[in-house]
């Protein structure tokens, strides 16, 4: 029997600094059936970020142009910058049979959930707000003003967690990673995603 699965759209959200990137990068390293949807953003790149890998870094004018072209599956203003998921990124990768991970905020997640009701949605939580703040200061990629803005927004984001199917606390990284990987493993086994050829 050939064990083939339909590809999935996997939405991962959580406040800035909770560990979304850390966890999804490890998922991608360990599971070749997964790929990442590279978003566009008007945010300034961090020193270690590569255009086309972490984001497509674009101007506000180019972002408006994409909006006019209806190029986004979802888009939102987050922490004072603009972010969007390109339909082309998701559609082309899913057409290749890959499952696509979206690292997007709750505003975008809400849009995706209403358009793709079969998506898998996971919200990552910190143990506490102070843990989140510590992680952002330790990551050292934003100014204190930007960090405090993100921490302030975290409370609103966390309040929206109940719209997601799953919630995982990222306190111990190994445990959180295993829990997210287990969700994805289980989701792949849904009868609705399974089309075996029985001979
Ligand atoms: P996000 O993508 O959600 O903004 P990151 O993945 O960049 O968050 O993680 C923020 C910081 O916290 C990074 O420096 C990362 O190495 C660290 N980090 C992530 N998960 C843990 C964890 N469980 N314990 C300690 N540090 C963590
Ligand atoms: P960062 O600036 O730290 O990379 O991301 C800030 C926030 O924007 C995070 O909550 C992240 O999930 C969200 N984000 C990143 N890309 C997108 C996107 O394409 N759409 C939406 N709605 N949010 C995004």
User: Which atom of ligand 2 is found nearest the CA of 141?
Assistant: 3
pLDDT at 78: 97
Look at residue 48 and give its three-state secondary structure.
Answer: coil
Q: What is the DSSP letter of 177?
A: H
- pLDDT tens sequence across 77-136: 999 999 999 999 999 999 999 999 999 999 999 999 999 999 999 999 999 999 999 999
- pLDDT tens sequence across 44-62: 999 999 999 999 999 999 9
**What is the Å distance from ligand 2's center to 44 Cα?**
13
Question: Domain of 33: which CATH number?
Answer: 3.40.50.300
Return the residue whose CA atom lies nearest to atom 22 of ligand 2.
108
Return the residue whose CA atom lies nearest to atom 14 of ligand 2.
104
Distance CA 87, CA 89 (A): 6
pLDDT score of 3 more than 90: no
pLDDT at 2: 60
Return the residue whose CA atom lies nearest to atom 13 of ligand 1.
139
Ligand nearest to the CA of 25: 1
pTM of the model: 0.97
**What is the Å distance from ligand 1's center to 22 Cα?**
6
Distance CA 133, CA 147 (A): 7
Structural domains of the chain, count: 1
pLDDT score of 199 more than 80: no
User: Which atom of ligand 2 is found nearest the CA of 109?
Assistant: 22
- pLDDT tens sequence across 18-47: 999 999 999 999 999 999 999 999 999 999
pLDDT score of 1 more than 70: no
**What is the Å distance from ligand 2's center to 104 Cα?**
5
Per-residue confidence band for 4, with pLDDT thresholds at 50, 70 and 90: confident
pLDDT at 142: 95
- pLDDT tens sequence across 129-163: 999 999 999 999 999 999 999 999 999 999 999 99
Q: HSE on the CB side for 145, CA within 13 Å?
A: 1
CA trace torsion 36, 93, 108, 125 (10° rounding): -30
**What is the Å distance from ligand 1's center to 15 Cα?**
11
Per-residue confidence band for 165, with pLDDT thresholds at 50, 70 and 90: very high
β-bridge partners, 103: 12
Ligand nearest to the CA of 101: 2
Return the residue whose CA atom lies nearest to atom 23 of ligand 2.
104
Answer yes or no: is the C-beta of 104 below 6 A from any ligand 2 atom.
Answer: yes
| Averaged pLDDT of the chain | 96
Domain extent at residue 50 = 4-195
**What is the Å distance from ligand 2's center to 95 Cα?**
24
């Amino acid at each position: 029997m050939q064990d083939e699965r339909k590809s999935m759209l996997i939405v991962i959200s959580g406040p800035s600094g909770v560990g979304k990137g850390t966890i999804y990068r490890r998922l991608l390293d360990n599971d070749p059936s997964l790929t990442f949807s590279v978003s566009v953003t008007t945010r300034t790149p961090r020193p270690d970020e590569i255009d086309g890998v972490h984001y497509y870094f674009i101007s506000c004018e180019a972002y408006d142009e994409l909006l006019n072209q209806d190029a986004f599956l979802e888009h939102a203003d987050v922490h004072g910058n603009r972010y969007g998921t390109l339909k082309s990124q998701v559609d082309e990768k899913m057409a290749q049979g890959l499952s696509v991970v979206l690292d997007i905020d709750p505003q975008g997640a809400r849009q995706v959930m209403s358009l793709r009701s079969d998506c898998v949605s996971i919200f990552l939580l910190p143990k506490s707000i102070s843990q989140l703040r510590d992680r952002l200061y330790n990551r050292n990629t934003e100014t204190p003003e930007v960090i405090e803005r993100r921490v302030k927004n975290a409370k609103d984001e966390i309040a929206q967690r109940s719209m997601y199917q799953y919630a995982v606390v990222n306190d111990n990284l190994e445990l959180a990673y295993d829990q997210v990987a287990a969700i994805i493993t289980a989701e792949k086994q849904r009868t609705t995603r399974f089309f075996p050829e029985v001979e």
